[in-house]
Amino acid sequence: MKTKTVWKIDPSHTEIGFKVKSMMISTVSGHFEDFAGSVEASDDNFMDANFNFTAQIGSINTNDQDRDTHLKSDDFFNAAQYPQLKFVSKSYNGDKLTGDLTIRDVTKEISLDVDYNGTVLDPYGQTKAGFEFEGTLKRKDFNLKWNAVTEAGNVVVSDKVKLVVSVQFVKRVLYNEKVTI
């Protein structure tokens, strides 16, 4: 038996963000406000970690209510039919996190660069671990296909989306897992 520790996302110290070019001249940033996630690992170096994450599409926030409403529509995420996105890891090696991302009805493997910022004991006796994840994806791969062309010939929304995620996990629960060698 091998013991694994469950770490839960601390939402007050986490930001799930993205950036995308608008009209190819500026960058729009956004984030999800309602999300959950965890990581399970045998020890505090996380080398055998399994990461899981969900975000509620209805919580998308780009600081523009009209744009957010459009992003929730069928032109993009279709929040009514597909209310959440989901990530389930397949592998983590300390520098890269690879897993399946599901948006709408499409699941694709993505890889994210990882900075593990360490583990500390906070003033309240809780053990916390910090990570930063970055990567890119093509939104059209996930059926987020809407676009338009400006009079100058620029596309309104780039296909390339940069993911920028800062996460703090809180150590929670221990349980036993059988390990076959």
Q: Residue 179: what pLDDT?
A: 40
Find out whether 68 and 60 touch, Cβ atoms under 8 Å: yes
Distance of alpha carbon 34 from alpha carbon 9, whole angstroms: 12
> What's the distance, CA 65 to chain centroid?
22
If one compares 180 and 107, the residue with the highest pLDDT of the two is 107
End-to-end CA distance of the chain, in Å? 11
pLDDT in tens, 128-179: 999 999 999 998 999 888 665 545 554 567 788 999 999 999 998 555 544 4
Would you kindly state where each structural domain of the chain is located, as residue ranges?
2-177
Neighbours of 42 (CB within 10 A): 15
Distance of alpha carbon 126 from alpha carbon 5, whole angstroms: 14
Distance of alpha carbon 4 from alpha carbon 119, whole angstroms: 16
Say how many CA atoms lie within 13 Å of 10 toward its Cβ: 16
Distance of alpha carbon 119 from alpha carbon 25, whole angstroms: 39
CB within 8 A of 26, min separation 6: which ones?
none
pLDDT in tens, 55-108: 999 999 999 999 999 999 998 999 999 999 999 999 999 999 999 999 999 999
Q: What's the CATH code, domain 2-177?
A: 2.40.128.110
pLDDT in tens, 110-138: 999 999 999 999 999 999 999 999 999 99
